[in-house]
Amino acid sequence: MASASATIRPAVRGEAPSAAIEAPSAIEVAALRSDRFRIEREDDWRRLEAILDRIESGRLRKLSDDDVLALPALYRTAASSLAVARETSLDAATIAYLESLVQRAWFQVYGPRVGFVRWLRGFLGGGLSQAVRDIWLEICIALAVMVAGTVVGWLLVARDTEWFYTLVPSQFTDSRQPGASREVLRESLAVTEYEGGMSAFAAQLFTNNTGVCILAFALGFAFGVPTLLLLIYNMAVLGAMLWLYNSQGLLPEFAAWLAVHGTTEFFAILLAGAAGLHVGRKMAFPGRRTILNATAEGGRRGAMVLVGCSIMLIFAALLEAFPRQMATAETRALLGGFMLIFWLTYFFAFGRGRPKEETA
């Protein structure tokens, strides 16, 4: 291939002067193409930059209606120019300028309108409780399923103790299994003075329980059926453990031992399962909306509930690692009852009457 900078041929008498001009080099051609590209679009870029400068400096009143209406179109024009610039390998300065311009415009067109602190204040100040109240139907269904799972676990083990080993994970069957004496079971509920390693224990519990909540929510996308099965299984484990301690007359002590963190932990699992069911119901019964839009709406509401569940599980892990291990049965029961009343009040009484636009 001949070089672009090579002379075409020497000029001879009688020929047009242009034939004797050297062809521009490849660098010169690229520079000319870049300059022409920039000149053709620079007015739109400068206008977009001026609009962004005014927005970012807080001078919104100086924006005209035309500028506000033009902002999305100018953003798309700049994004298209950036794509072309990258594809045709225009000069690095033009690409860097467009990347910065498009990034700034994206935040103004699609970026969040509130900071994290303001979002968190709205979330805890009524947004979370409103989202929970919005899925009350799924909460009722999940609660009924969890109660049924507990009863099923109890009845299965009462009928045949081999079900205990089928339902309960092996890490819970060290000394707590059918046939264990009352003293052995009571010892597993005893107060301990040992505090070492409880921080790591709390972190482990938080990780495990968060995984259960995320799974209960994520399985809702299969129309909620796997979520229901997961709730039944987890509560069948509880039913089996309740039967075990009841068989030795220790049901009140075990309930107190469980309540100190269980009223928060099982509440979080209930809400996560309900959020998953909410997404599944939106998919199955989208109403007049498209399935995609209905699912997206349910997903946003469910995700908000799931964030609240994560906060609840932090409390549950701390309660499980410290007060449960060091408090007496009476204190455990009081703490568990207090946490249950707190969550019920927060979710179903707090923030009522707030406009939905502020809490969504």
Q: What is the DSSP string of 212-274?
A: HHHHHHHGGGGTTHHHHHHHHHHHHHHHHHHHHHHTTT-HHHHHHHHHHHHHHHHHHHHHHHH
Angstrom distances, CA of residue 137 to CA of 126, 278, 299, 357: 19, 8, 16, 21
Q: Is the pLDDT of residue 198 over 70?
A: no
Give the integer Cα–Cα distance in Å for 88 and 15.
36
pLDDT given for residue 145 in this prediction: 95
More confident residue, 278 or 22: 278
Lowest mean pLDDT among 19-33, 62-76, 200-214, 327-341: 19-33
Spatial contact of 351 and 126, defined as CB atoms under 8 Å apart: yes
Q: What is the pLDDT of residue 70?
A: 85
Which pLDDT does position 6 carry in this prediction?
42
The overall average pLDDT reported for the chain is: 80
Residue 312 makes CB contacts below 8 A (sequence gap 6+) with: 264, 265, 267, 268, 271, 343
Of 271, 266, 291, the closest CA to residue 281 belongs to 291
Percent of the chain residues past pLDDT 70, beyond the cut: 79
Instruction: Tell me the pLDDT tens digit for each residue of 104-145.
Output: 888 777 766 666 777 788 888 888 999 999 999 999 999 999
Rounded Cα distance between 96 and 93, Å, is: 5
How far, in Å, CA of 127 to CA of 359, rounded?
A: 4
Give the pLDDT band (50/70/90) at residue 3.
very low
CB of 313 closer than 8 Å to CB of 209: yes
Of 171, 82, 135, give the one whose Cα is nearest residue 272: 135
Residue pair 306/211 in contact by the 8 Å Cβ criterion: no
Query: What is the per-residue burial (b if ≥16 Cβ within 10 Å, else e) of 311-323?
Result: ebbbbbbbbbbbb
Cα angle 168, 171, 176 (rounded to 5 degrees) comes to 65
Whether the predicted model's global pTM rises above the 0.85 cut: no
Examine the pLDDT at 7 and tell me if it is beyond 50: no
Which has more pLDDT, 156 or 187? 156
What are the structure tokens assigned to 279, written together?
Answer: 């997404």
Give the chain's length: 360
Cα maximum dimension of the chain: 119
- Tens digits of per-residue pLDDT, 269-319? 999 999 999 998 988 888 888 888 888 888 888 888 988 998 898 888 888
- Could you say which DSSP state residue 127 is in? I
pLDDT at 226 over 60: yes
Q: CA 256 from chain center: how many Å?
A: 32
pLDDT at 272: 93
Amino acid symbol at 311: I
What are 218's two structure tokens? 């994520």
Percentage of the chain surpassing pLDDT 90?
24
